[in-house]
Chains A and B, each alone.
Chain A
Amino acid sequence: MAEYRGCQLPEDLFYDLDYVWLRLGNDGLITIGVTDPAQTMGGRVLSVHIKKLGTALRPGRHVATLESGKWVGGIPVPFAATVAERNEALLADPHLVNVDPYGTGWIARLRPDDPEGALRGLATGEPAVSALKQWIDRYDVECMRCSD
């Protein structure tokens, strides 16, 4: 896994090159979460709201809202989709976003309206890592892995 200024940047995920990572599952659902540099910039997440199951989202709309002591942010979906699953563990313990952003800190699973085109236009692999490094420099982020 690539690492830059302490931030972990998995090459096998898809990215909107802002807050969000995405992972395609074998069942066609797409998991969404926030990147390591984004969780660092936000600080310790204190509360999370995830849209209800079955909510239809247009591209750019928020699937979730995270709030920390110093930041509030919506998590946008890059494609039209329906909320198929919510991370109930995250609702109970929002800090999981900081502890394990690519694992247990996932936010929701989405059913894309256009399964074949959903991830088209998103970045992955080395180009994504390169662009995320620029994002990290732009916002002057130094990643820290939170513990419990």
Chain B
Amino acid sequence: MQNIGEAFTHDHRRLEQALEASVAHVGAARWDEAAATFAIFRRGIERHMEVEEQVLFPAVEGGAETPLTAILRKGHRDLRVFFDELDDALQARDAEEYGRIAASMRALLERHDEKEEAELYPAAQARLGADAAAAAARLGG
């Protein structure tokens, strides 16, 4: 049985690779490839955050928002603005802006992911028990 920590942490690394691939393509002015890898990143991370918001946060909260889930929800809101800004930079073919936004977002993601891996996933695993595998499976491939 795949647990929450393993599944979501693996997904973090997969998404980091997709983001780095898009940054590399932008740096080399391979715009079509950049758009394709950014689409993979965005689709994947939106799915990842959706499962966290719909399954993991409620499981940890037990009906009342906690400081941990409040700060993680806030992180998701901030990240979504960065996704839009990356998309804008991609559409404008502005490599400098794309690289700068990606650097900021990478730093935000690092801190956000560390908090999830250290605090959210162990707590969600404990609360979900036998339902943890189903939550992990919702991430897809």
Contacts and interface: CB of A to CB of B under 8 A. Distances in A.
Interface of A: 18, 49, 60-62, 65, 67, 70-74, 76, 138-140
A146 to B, nearest CB: 20
27 contacts: A18-B74, A49-B100, A60-B81, A61-B81, A61-B84, A61-B85, A62-B81, A62-B82, A62-B85, A65-B104, A67-B104, A67-B107, A70-B111, A71-B108, A71-B111, A72-B104, A72-B105, A72-B108, A72-B111, A73-B78, A73-B108, A74-B78, A74-B85, A138-B65, A139-B70, A139-B71, A140-B67
A67 to B, nearest CB: 6
Interface string B74-90: 10001001101100000
A141 B78 CA distance: 19
Contact of A72 (B65, B74, B107): B107
Interface string B42-82: 00000000000000000000000101001100100010011
A138 B104 contact: no
What's the dominant secondary structure at chain B's contact region? helix
A113 B71 CA distance: 32
Contacts of B67: 138-140
Contacts of A67: 104, 107
A78 B111 CA distance: 25
A140 B74 CA distance: 14
A33 to B, nearest CB: 17
Contacts of B65: 138
- The winner among B65, B67, B78, B111 for most chain A CB atoms within 10 A is B78
A74 B111 contact: no
B75 to A, nearest CB: 9
Contacts of B104: 49, 65, 67, 72, 74
- The winner among A49, A60, A70, A74 for most chain B CB atoms within 10 A is A74
A67 B107 CA distance: 8
Which 5 interchain pairs have the tightest Cβ spacing?
A: A72-B108, A140-B67, A72-B107, A65-B104, A138-B70
- The winner among B67, B70, B74, B104 for most chain A CB atoms within 10 A is B104
A71 B71 CA distance: 11
